[in-house]
């Protein structure tokens, strides 16, 4: 197996934001949800550089500061950093995956081709 292959990967995850923002002050709920998405991506993909797509941000903020969605389906893609003088060689891009229902969804590896 080539050493380059496993570092570039995309996976679909369901993040349960309800349990991550439980017992949080109303005005801090949605900002905390964004921070928790970043933390989840860092933990799942093992990169400290996480970039959140504006569609994910809009989806989380859609119901206001007090009421983030209970769950969100995201695609985490580990990509190569094009910037020459970057500290990290890889970064994680968080993109929204539209689903009608969260019932029975598992973590899936997505072909990047």
- pLDDT at res. 109: 93
Q: Euclidean distance between the first and final Cα of the chain, in Å?
A: 18
Using one digit for the tens of pLDDT, what is the confidence trace for 30-48? 999 999 999 999 999 999 9
pLDDT band at 5; cut points 50, 70, 90:
low
Residue 26, pLDDT score: 95
Residue-wise pLDDT for 59-107, tens only, equals: 999 999 999 999 999 999 999 998 888 888 999 999 999 999 999 999 9
Structure confidence at residue 112 (pLDDT): 65
Q: What's residue 6's pLDDT?
A: 62
Q: What's the pLDDT score for residue 104?
A: 94
In the structure, how many helices (H) and strands (E) does the chain have? 3, 5
CA dihedral (6, 98, 42, 33) in degrees, to 10, reads: -170
């Amino acid at each position: 197996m080539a050493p380059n292959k496993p570092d570039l990967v995309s996976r679909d995850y369901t993040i349960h934001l309800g349990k991550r923002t439980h017992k949080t002050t109303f005005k801090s709920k949605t900002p905390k949800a964004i921070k928790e998405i970043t933390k989840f991506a860092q933990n799942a993909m093992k990169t400290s550089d996480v970039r959140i797509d504006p569609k994910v941000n809009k989806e989380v903020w859609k119901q206001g500061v007090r009421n983030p969605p209970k769950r969100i389906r995201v695609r985490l893609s580990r990509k190569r950093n094009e910037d020459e003088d970057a500290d990290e060689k890889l970064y994680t891009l968080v993109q929204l995956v539209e689903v009608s229902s969260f019932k029975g969804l598992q973590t899936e590896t997505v072909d990047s081709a």
